[in-house]
Amino acid sequence: MNLFKNLSIGKKLLIILLLISILPLFITTYGFYSLGKVKLTEQTIHVLKVQTENVAASLNNFIDYKFKHLYKIVDMPQLIHILTLKNIKEQPHIIRQTASSLRAKLRITPDFLSFCLMDTEGNVVLGTCNKTDANFGTRPTFRKALEGGKYVSPPSLDKGKPSIFFSIPIKHTDNIIGVLVAQCSAEEFWELIETENGRVGVGNAVILSNSDGVRIAHSTTRDLIFKSWIPLKPEVKEQILREKRYGSNIKEIASTDRPEVMDAVTRALPPHYFQHKLVIGKGTYHSVIKTMNNGWRIIATIPEATFLEPVHTSIFYISIISGIIVCVVIVASIVIGRLSTNRIHTFASVSKEIARGNLAKRVPFVNGDEIGQLGKTFNIMTASIERKIEQLRYLNDVAVEIHSHIELEHLLQDLVNISRRIVNAEMGSLVLLDEQGENIKYFKVSATNQFGSFQIQDQPKGKGLLGAVIKKGRVIRLDNITEDSRSIGLPPNHPPIRTLLGVPLITNSGTISGGLLLANKANDERFTLEDEEVLLTITYQASVAIENARLYGHVQQLAITDGLTGLLNYKEFHRRLDENIEGSKRYHYKISLLMIDIDHFKQFNDTYGHQVGDFVLETIATIIQSQTRTVDVCARYGGEEFAVIVRDDDTFNSLILAERIRSAVYAYPIKHNGIRSQLSVSIGIASFPKDADNAEDLIKRADEALYMAKETGRNSLCCYKPAQPD
């Protein structure tokens, strides 16, 4: 709705006319499409159902025909005689005669390719071909028949030949004594399915799948046979391959990643109808499933685009009519809009120019009716906005300047300098409280050249007018400070102050962090409300910048400090060591590296626990810091090991410092949990450039010296000594 309100009158008129003309047509078209889709879908489902029933009838006729002939062969008494012989090897002529009879039947009625007679153990007793390596005993063909029923296998591939196997049990005195397996070509079976391709429309296909989710026939392409809809579970796949369920040539069951079809065909009671995708075409397919008596699933499918083609054709013609109507409506709305909204368009054009930043643009009509009066008011508003934008642009430049600083003291000085120049004051001061908001931590002053470089001897206490700003958060704007009861006078030698403007610095959390004060506006003018607003804007930006600078300083400190001991961390130690070595090379002074290790610290830590161990590390770090100078670099090197970088000179020697640290640690009483322990440290010392010419070697030499100090009994120090040649 808000978007519609912001449109031009011409566009609103166009939209209304389009809605009036197109909306009924759209509703009618949508209803026609929805109703047509429902009706055509119902008809398609019925057609696909009939197709599946016809396919099922054809397959059942094919299977029944094969079993009919197979049952005639089972009635041969020779088969029962062979299976009941105790020692068949003693009467081989019976085997030969029976095999000859079976081959004769194959020649007379070539419904089968071969026969195989098997006993109840799965052994081949008689076969009409030499392909006895098929090992039917492990396949469902044998097992299912042995359970007492007839069985037809899915197509399989053995030695490159696609086959289907039919098996029936052979009974004698109501006992199953063997199984007769007949092989026929799968080509005839597949051709039955392939004749259904495209029967009910373009893209129509019939797919035969079993309960494993493996396709065993496909009317479109045989390349998809012996593939599953999704990857089979490992245990199912292993069983299929072990049983050679699809023949000895099938070593892998590939998949086509169609989980919705896999879910449908592997259910115990599959759905009658569902929608899905297929690899043989694009778009959505609609399918009907019929389950045969042997568990095979017949899927008749057709793409949605095929049976919805009549609806799509109708929609196409309706779209052409809609397009013609839209063109007529657009032309009509443009003509009407131009005739009735010329001045409004001019107004809108000027507004867009101003919105793009051309603030010098003005509405040409400022008299007459309401639109003329609106134009006059609009021009006044534009001039005011132009002045404000100039002011904001300058303040934005100020914000960019102050936010570019990350060092706090430089930031504070720049803030007071910039504020004084913007408001055109002679003097300015910025006060920043400490983190607790109690005492003044920073006090920065700025003044014009006429006052020279005067210095304030003592930092202010935050009383009087200054206290009103930084302690109570008041905004003060005075034309004469001597008339204000809060004024407590000025320090000695301070330039006189007439007018004063002060605003507090307030953080995002609402606490007062300081204040910004300006004195004596230039040309004996008074500070105005606009000056106050400008200064408030600056202090808002300043508070954020100051907070960022403080956070940056805190983060910088955390980044280089060890969290437990407060000493420099490993990374900063290496940077400082490189820095000192470069300074030594340039200015030719000597530096020493002390590597300090707490003796038996691991044993101490294991005995008293990590909390006491941490306390010891903090204590040792404090002792090391107490013995070193501010110019020395103290760091925690790692674990219980510390490092000190010492700049040696005529008045300070690293060996003396190392001895002071060692003796101070040894003399310090470590008290914990009512127990007093005594600790000691071992110290290794190496010097640059005497013992090494780079940082890495210097650390190595100091470590070697530390190792020698440990070897000589601990609680000692050792300077690096190069190994003497033998």
Cα gap 489→485, rounded to integer Å: 11
- What's the per-residue H, E or C state across 4-70? HHCCCHHHHHHHHHHHHHHHHHHHHHHHHHHHHHHHHHHHHHHHHHHHHHHHHHHHHHHHHHHHHHH
| DSSP-derived 3-state class of residue 371 | helix
* Res. 313: pLDDT tops 90: no
> What would the pLDDT profile of 487-496 be if each residue is shown by its tens digit?
776 766 677 8
The answer to whether residue 327 is domain-embedded is no
Written as one letter, the residue type at 386 is E
Domain end, chosen from 184, 205, 230, is at 184
Q: CATH no. for residue 300?
A: 3.30.450.20
Q: Kindly give the pairing relationship between strand 297-303 and strand 425-433.
A: unpaired
The band of 386, judged by pLDDT with boundaries at 50, 70 and 90, is: confident
Chain-centre distance of CA 620, in angstroms?
45
571 and 478 assigned to the same domain? no
| Average pLDDT score, the chain | 82
Q: Which helix (H) or strand (E) holds 554?
A: helix 529-560
Query: Mean pLDDT across the stretch 379-384?
Result: 77
107 and 157 assigned to the same domain? yes
The answer to whether residue 627 is domain-embedded is yes
Tokens standing for residue 284: 């959505």
pLDDT at position 61? 92
The band of 463, judged by pLDDT with boundaries at 50, 70 and 90, is: confident
The answer to whether residue 195 is domain-embedded is yes
Who contacts 66 (Cβ-Cβ below 8 Å, separation ≥6)?
A: 111, 112, 152, 166, 182, 184
Cα gap 246→250, rounded to integer Å: 6
179 and 196 assigned to the same domain? no
Domain end, chosen from 510, 542, 574, is at 542
| DSSP-derived 3-state class of residue 664 | helix
Q: What is the CA radius of gyration of the chain?
A: 49
> What would the pLDDT profile of 468-492 be if each residue is shown by its tens digit?
787 787 888 888 877 777 777 676 6
| DSSP-derived 3-state class of residue 524 | helix
Q: CATH no. for residue 380?
A: 1.10.8
> What would the pLDDT profile of 61-70 be if each residue is shown by its tens digit?
999 988 888 8
194 and 176 assigned to the same domain? no
> What would the pLDDT profile of 636-671 be if each residue is shown by its tens digit?
998 899 999 998 876 678 899 999 999 999 999 888
CA nearest 596: which of 631, 566, 640?
640
Cα gap 517→337, rounded to integer Å: 58
Within a 10 A sphere around the Cβ of 132, how many other Cβ atoms? 11
The answer to whether residue 652 is domain-embedded is yes
> What would the pLDDT profile of 252-276 be if each residue is shown by its tens digit?
888 888 888 888 888 878 888 888 8
Question: Which of 357-371, 374-388, 562-576 has the weakest average pLDDT?
Answer: 357-371
Q: CATH no. for residue 647?
A: 3.30.70.270
Q: What share of the chain is helix, strand, coil (3-state, %, to 5)?
A: 50, 20, 30
Who contacts 658 (Cβ-Cβ below 8 Å, separation ≥6)?
A: 594, 683, 685, 717
140 and 210 assigned to the same domain? no
The answer to whether residue 13 is domain-embedded is no
HSE, side-chain direction, 13 A CA sphere, residue 633? 24
The band of 91, judged by pLDDT with boundaries at 50, 70 and 90, is: low
495 and 360 assigned to the same domain? no
* Res. 504: pLDDT tops 60: yes
Domain end, chosen from 140, 158, 184, is at 184
The answer to whether residue 365 is domain-embedded is yes
197 and 250 assigned to the same domain? yes
| DSSP-derived 3-state class of residue 531 | helix
pLDDT at position 159? 83
160 and 280 assigned to the same domain? no
* Res. 534: pLDDT tops 60: yes
415 and 501 assigned to the same domain? yes
Number of domains composing the chain: 5
Reported pTM:
0.45
The answer to whether residue 245 is domain-embedded is yes
The answer to whether residue 634 is domain-embedded is yes
Instruction: Name the residue range of residue 416's domain.
Output: 405-542
165 and 247 assigned to the same domain? no
CA nearest 444: which of 506, 514, 521, 503?
514
Top pLDDT among 364 and 10 is at: 364
Provide the phi-psi class of 366: left if phi over 0, else alpha when psi is between -120 and 50, else beta. Answer: alpha
Tokens standing for residue 719: 């300077």
Who contacts 168 (Cβ-Cβ below 8 Å, separation ≥6)?
A: 67, 70, 71, 74, 145, 150, 151, 179, 180
**10-24, 103-117, 330-344, 518-532: which is most confident:** 518-532
pLDDT at position 90? 55
Owner of token pair 């127990």? 675
531 and 565 assigned to the same domain? no
565 and 660 assigned to the same domain? yes
**DSSP letter for each residue of 165-206:** EEEEEEEETTEEEEEEEEEEEHHHHHHHHHTTTTTTSTT-EE
Cα gap 506→550, rounded to integer Å: 14
